[in-house]
A and B are shown apart, each in its own frame.
Chain A
């Protein structure tokens, strides 16, 4: 009991420091992890073997390397200038286009790859048009999370849910895609409305990106071809990974290594461009959340809450709301991992057939996706985007916990309300 309280206190303090941003969040989370390991809530071995998810880290590091090499060719500049020109500088058009593109890419690829790819482009466009990139960044995070929620392969929580529930790709598409489209259609205009002021261009027209020559943006065509072909190969392998029996992280690592090899770039030059602080933040987060998990805090909390309800619709709503809150606070993957056994257990306890508990799985998937979009800690792609914004070195463009939360939390509550109605109308109402 004492240990539980101490651990809760550590997590709480960590949280306060992350939110206030007096220290860099990576420093904070690493300090708490060393305290946790020092007090032996986790041994280094347990942390390493059970809680640090090397799949996520491998995927992230591999894709970061590929994107860092790609960036050197000037491809992102090319795409940014091209897009800006095609839209004739119409920011609303670009905004809508980028958000839908992010959502679509994210439905096919994992969120991390999506934001690594889209992030540099939208930062360049925002910079070129002389506008503050924050609305773009917030939008891309939300679009990546909601877009990823539409398919089985779109994000890690869905993959976890699919393996435990046996739901198919088509099931996911039929049940998640409609609501995700509605939510996106709701958030994109909302986001535009709240952030219009920031999106006013401060650069005189003559200087903007529209006058740039996209053909001059590419500095190294051979490198561009090489990196694009390796990237596409990696994506093809991602899509086929279950057939090939390769895990996505191995594919990403292999792609990165192959590109490093055929591009002949010095490894040092590539490693310099990697967001190490984000990677280490994620390691620290795994350790902190892992300690909570090991003490059984997440599942005992969840069990207690769920046991309050006895009817299926109520249970579904509780799962939706609770996974929303926990994902927002402690990120989506551990939330999904903790909730899945609970839902299976519930099915047995309430003596329901696997068919009958299906709505509970959708409640979880929705809650995790919406919750994961509502704070900066909600999912790993959010952290990656925040890291990107930091690298710009502009105080007004830095995506802090508050800046993100202020825009996203109200919007995600709106989404949660819509999701609640959707669940109720679709699964618990007799037509």
Chain B
């Protein structure tokens, strides 16, 4: 009991520290993780084997290295100039393009890879135009989460639900893609409205017209090799289920291959990795691991599932509780904790498997869309926040919350309607 309270206290204090931003959030999270380890709430052994998600870290590190090398070639500058020219500096057009492209690629690639490529291009374009990149970055964060919800391979919560419930790629498309399209369009409209003042086109784009995108490529040879390896890595992602290699291993192998072929000094490539974001994750894994170990999440979940007998109410509760918890603690641990609860429902309430399906979709929607709520919701959010720290405009916990949280609420409301209309109550 004392232990549970102490863990809860550490979690809350860490959270307050992250929200206040007086001290860098990585330091805060690592301090919390250090406290949890020293006090023995989680053994380092457990933290390493159970809670430390080497898949996420490996994927992030691998893609950061690959994208870091690509950055050295000037490809991103090339894309930035090309895009600005094509849009004639029209900010609204660029905003729509970036939001939709991020959502589309997030559905088929993992969100972090998409963000790692899109966010730097966005920053290049907006900074050259003397505009604030934050509206674009925040919209990309939100759209990557929404886009990722559309498919089985789009984001980690879906993969977890898919493997627990045994659903196929097609059934995800049939059940989730329609709602995702609605949520996506709704969110883009809302975001466009919120940021309308930022999206007015001035004459700042003028300088771009004279720039030659071909001159942006500083190292064509490096570009060719790194693009080939990047392409191979993407193929590996798409095939990872068939060849039985985890995405993290694909990303890391790609990164190492790139190091070998280009002969870049490892330290030079590793300098491009956002270590502080990675360590933020590591710290968060440990703290959330302690919360998990104290069974706090399952206590909440069990309280919800035990108190309700009505299946319709149960769906709504699963959707909203997994959504809100995911927003604050990260989607992956929440969905992981909820999966056994939904599985148990099949046995305890003797809900037949076909009526269990709406519950699974509720969990997938809650976990994936709930991740929109705060910068801690998903890996992609934290990566964008990390990237934004290199610009003059930093995304903070609060500045994101006032946009992201309402959009999450809207997304959850739309999802509730969808679930109620589409899956008939028993």
Which A residues touch B33, using CB under 8 A?
A: 257
Which B residues touch A125, using CB under 8 A?
A: none
Nearest Cβ in chain B — how far from A107, in angstroms? 26
Interface residues of chain B: helix, strand, loop or mixed (majority): helix
A261 touches B260 (CB 8 A): no
Complex Cα spacing A30 to B34, Å = 29
Complex Cα spacing A34 to B232, Å = 15
Among listed B88-96, B179-187, B267-275, interface-contacting one: B267-275
| A24 interface residue (CB < 8 Å to B) | yes
| A150 interface residue (CB < 8 Å to B) | no
| B265 interface residue (CB < 8 Å to A) | yes
B276 touches A268 (CB 8 A): yes
Known: A23-B260, A272-B271. A34 touches B44 (CB 8 A): no
Known: A26-B266, A37-B249, A277-B270. A48 touches B260 (CB 8 A): no
B44 touches A27 (CB 8 A): no
Residue of B27, B256, B263, B270 touching A267 (CB-CB under 8 A): B27
B31 touches A258 (CB 8 A): yes
Most B CB contacts (10 A, CB to CB) among A28, A30, A272, A280 go to A30
Which B residues touch A267, using CB under 8 A?
A: 24, 26-27, 30, 275-276, 279
Contact with B along A28-70 (1 / 0, CB 8 A): 1011001001100000100011000011001000000000000
A258 touches B252 (CB 8 A): no
Residue of A31, A48, A245, A250 touching B44 (CB-CB under 8 A): A250
A261 touches B259 (CB 8 A): no
Interface residues of B in 350-405 (CB under 8 A from A): 389
| A309 interface residue (CB < 8 Å to B) | no
Residue of B nearest to A277 (CB): B266
Nearest Cβ in chain B — how far from A61, in angstroms? 9
Which B residues touch A257, using CB under 8 A?
A: 27, 30-31, 33-34
Contact with B along A257-277 (1 / 0, CB 8 A): 110110010111001101111
| A249 interface residue (CB < 8 Å to B) | yes
Which A residues touch B38, using CB under 8 A?
A: 246, 250, 254
Known: A44-B246, A250-B38. A55 touches B44 (CB 8 A): yes
B24 touches A31 (CB 8 A): no
Residue of B23, B31, B49, B265 touching A24 (CB-CB under 8 A): B265
| B257 interface residue (CB < 8 Å to A) | yes
Known: A44-B248, A250-B44, A267-B27. A23 touches B279 (CB 8 A): no
Interface residues of chain A: helix, strand, loop or mixed (majority): helix
| B253 interface residue (CB < 8 Å to A) | yes
Which A residues touch B249, using CB under 8 A?
A: 34, 37-38, 44
Complex Cα spacing A275 to B26, Å = 19
| A247 interface residue (CB < 8 Å to B) | yes
Residue of B nearest to A260 (CB): B27
Complex Cα spacing A48 to B275, Å = 20
| A328 interface residue (CB < 8 Å to B) | no
Complex Cα spacing A272 to B389, Å = 15
Nearest Cβ in chain B — how far from A18, in angstroms? 13
| A124 interface residue (CB < 8 Å to B) | no
Complex Cα spacing A23 to B54, Å = 26
| B337 interface residue (CB < 8 Å to A) | no
Which A residues touch B54, using CB under 8 A?
A: 44, 48
| A253 interface residue (CB < 8 Å to B) | yes
A34 touches B34 (CB 8 A): no
Contact with B along A105-138 (1 / 0, CB 8 A): 0000000000000000000000000000000000
Which B residues touch A391, using CB under 8 A?
A: 267
| B48 interface residue (CB < 8 Å to A) | yes
Interface residues of A in 53-96 (CB under 8 A from B): 54-55, 58
A58 touches B44 (CB 8 A): yes
Which A residues touch B245, using CB under 8 A?
A: 38
A271 touches B276 (CB 8 A): yes
B37 touches A250 (CB 8 A): yes
A276 touches B266 (CB 8 A): yes
Residue of A nearest to B48 (CB): A54
B246 touches A266 (CB 8 A): no
B31 touches A31 (CB 8 A): no
Residue of A nearest to B273 (CB): A276
Which B residues touch A26, using CB under 8 A?
A: 259, 266
Known: A30-B256, A48-B54, A253-B37. A54 touches B44 (CB 8 A): yes
Residue of B nearest to A266 (CB): B24
Nearest Cβ in chain B — how far from A48, in angstroms? 5
Which A residues touch B31, using CB under 8 A?
A: 257-258, 260-261
Most B CB contacts (10 A, CB to CB) among A28, A55, A266 go to A266
Nearest Cβ in chain A — how far from B34, in angstroms? 4
Complex Cα spacing A48 to B54, Å = 8
B256 touches A276 (CB 8 A): no
B44 touches A30 (CB 8 A): no
Contact with B along A378-390 (1 / 0, CB 8 A): 0000000000001
Complex Cα spacing A267 to B25, Å = 9
Nearest Cβ in chain A — how far from B254, in angstroms? 9
Complex Cα spacing A339 to B38, Å = 32
Nearest Cβ in chain A — how far from B284, in angstroms? 14
A249 touches B44 (CB 8 A): yes
Nearest Cβ in chain B — how far from A28, in angstroms? 8
Which B residues touch A268, using CB under 8 A?
A: 275-276, 389
Complex Cα spacing A246 to B40, Å = 9
Residue numbers of A with Cβ under 8 A of B are 23-24, 26-28, 30-31, 34, 37-38, 44, 48-49, 54-55, 58, 245-247, 249-250, 253-254, 257-258, 260-261, 264, 266-268, 271-272, 274-277, 280, 390-391
With A54-B44, A267-B27 already in contact, 7 other A-B pairs whose C-beta atoms are closer than 8 Å: A27-B256, A48-B54, A254-B38, A267-B26, A271-B275, A274-B275, A275-B267
Residue numbers of B with Cβ under 8 A of A are 23-24, 26-28, 30-31, 33-34, 37-38, 40, 44-45, 48-49, 54, 245-246, 248-249, 252-253, 256-257, 259-260, 263, 265-267, 270-271, 273, 275-276, 279, 389
Interface CB pairs A-B, < 8 A, 6: A30-B252, A44-B249, A250-B38, A250-B44, A260-B31, A264-B23
